[in-house]
Amino acid sequence: MFEINYFQFICFLWAALGIGSRIVMLVMGEKWAKWEVSSAYTQNKPKWIYPVGVIGYFLVILTWYQFFVTDIKYSWMVAVLITVTTIKITVLLFNYKAFHNFLVSMLKDKKKMLQLNIGVVLLSCVLILMGVFLY
């Protein structure tokens, strides 16, 4: 039976979310931007952000715990990458207005959105390669 370790799981899950969200954005087109602003990230901070933020922080802690208790070469790379996500989590929780303003400005700028989408797809490809070849 094929087994994957924690770090492979994180790589594949993160890549699937990145690529999957870009596909949904492509299919939905302009409806995606409207949905993000009117449903997912409304003007007032949505209640779902609190539990998701706690889960995000927990995932960072769990990843560092796995780093220290398992002997998996290069696991520090995923631990560092996932730690960077605390920036978004922290802004969402403690400076939501700034995040919302950033989101609205990004959604209005086609060039920035293209750059973001390319970056997410490239990161997702790197994560897949890491999951296959490093772990």
- Give the DSSP letter of residue 74: T
What are the backbone dihedrals phi and psi of residue 18, each rounded to the nearest 5 degrees, phi first? -65, -50
pLDDT, residue 91, reads: 96
pTM of the model: 0.92
Cα–Cα distance, 47 to 92 (Å, whole number): 11
User: Cα–Cα distance between 42 and 40 in angstroms, integer?
Assistant: 6
Element (H, E) at 14: helix 6-28
pLDDT in tens, the chain (135 residues): 789 999 999 999 999 999 999 999 999 999 999 999 999 999 999 999 999 999 999 999 999 999 999 999 999 999 999 999 999 999 999 999 999 999 999 999 999 999 999 999 999 999 999 999 999
**Given this model, what pLDDT does residue 1 score?**
78
**CB-CB neighbours of 42 under 10 Å:** 12
Domain ranges in the chain are 6-19+47-134
The answer to whether the beta carbons of residues 63 and 10 sit under 8 Å apart is yes
